């Protein structure tokens, strides 16, 4: 066994070591500046991609991905929260009424199309919930490297509508 195989085997057996090694290497690479440019924390992503290319089984447990997504959405909320309330002082009422109008029109359109297409109410509600967000756009990437998606399982059993795939849950983002 050569050194490369030994390192890969060590990382496959020790998932926390893999996680912290990717973070540490990515952090230090991200701090390197070349002519005023640096990757910053995005370097962690690139280091993670490089480590993932070393072996097809080199992946973290699913809970890490879920926790990362939750923390990402939470920090975005923390960052945008103060500016959201500060916007009420300027043109907040007008902007929020516009957003409210978009939500009402989207809900009405989703309900109408759901009825016309004969969809179950649960599927229609899921379509509406996912239509104005981009969080679900990470899901195809996340599930493609793991097990088949629930849609693929339903297709294998013959119980899936053609429009139930992960990508079409957000029709407003497809345009």
Structure tokens at 67: 């926790």
Domain residue ranges in the chain: 1-60, 62-90, 92-175
Sheet strands (E) in 35-74: none
Q: What pLDDT sits at residue 76?
A: 86
pLDDT tens for the chain, residues 1 to 175: 799 889 989 999 988 899 999 999 999 999 999 998 988 888 988 998 899 888 888 888 888 878 888 888 898 888 888 887 777 777 778 888 898 999 999 999 999 999 999 999 998 988 888 777 766 566 665 555 555 555 555 445 444 444 344 444 444 444 3
- Torsion region of 120: left, alpha or beta (phi above 0 gives left; psi -120 to 50 gives alpha): beta
Angle 146-169-124 from CA coordinates, rounded to 5°: 125
The DSSP 8-state label assigned to residue 146 in this structure reads S
Q: What pLDDT sits at residue 20?
A: 92
Structure tokens at 134: 């981009």
Give the CB-side neighbour count of residue 111, counting CA atoms within 13 A: 6
Distance of CA 161 to the CA centre of its chain: 23
Which long-range contacts (C-beta less than 8 Å, at least 24 apart) are formed by 161-164? Answer: 161/119, 161/123, 163/117, 164/123
Question: Nearest to residue 68, comparing CAs of 148, 171, 138?
Answer: 138
The DSSP 8-state label assigned to residue 119 in this structure reads -
């Amino acid at each position: 066994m050569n050194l490369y195989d030994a390192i890969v085997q060590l990382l496959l057996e020790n998932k926390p070591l893999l996680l912290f090694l990717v973070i540490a290497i990515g952090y230090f690479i991200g701090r390197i500046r070349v002519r005023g440019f640096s990757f910053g924390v995005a370097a962690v992503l690139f280091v993670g991609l490089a480590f993932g290319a070393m072996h097809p089984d080199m992946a973290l447990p699913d809970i890490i991905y879920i926790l990362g997504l939750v923390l990402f959405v939470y920090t975005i909320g923390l960052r945008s929260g103060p500016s959201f309330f500060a916007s009420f002082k300027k043109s907040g009422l007008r902007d929020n009424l516009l957003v409210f109008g978009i939500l009402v029109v989207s809900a009405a359109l989703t309900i109408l199309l759901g009825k016309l297409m004969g969809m179950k109410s649960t599927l229609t509600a899921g379509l509406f919930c996912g239509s104005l967000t981009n969080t679900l756009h990470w899901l195809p990437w996340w599930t493609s490297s793991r097990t088949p998606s629930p849609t693929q399982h339903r297709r294998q059993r013959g119980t899936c509508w053609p429009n139930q795939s992960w990508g079409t849950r957000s029709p407003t983002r497809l345009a």
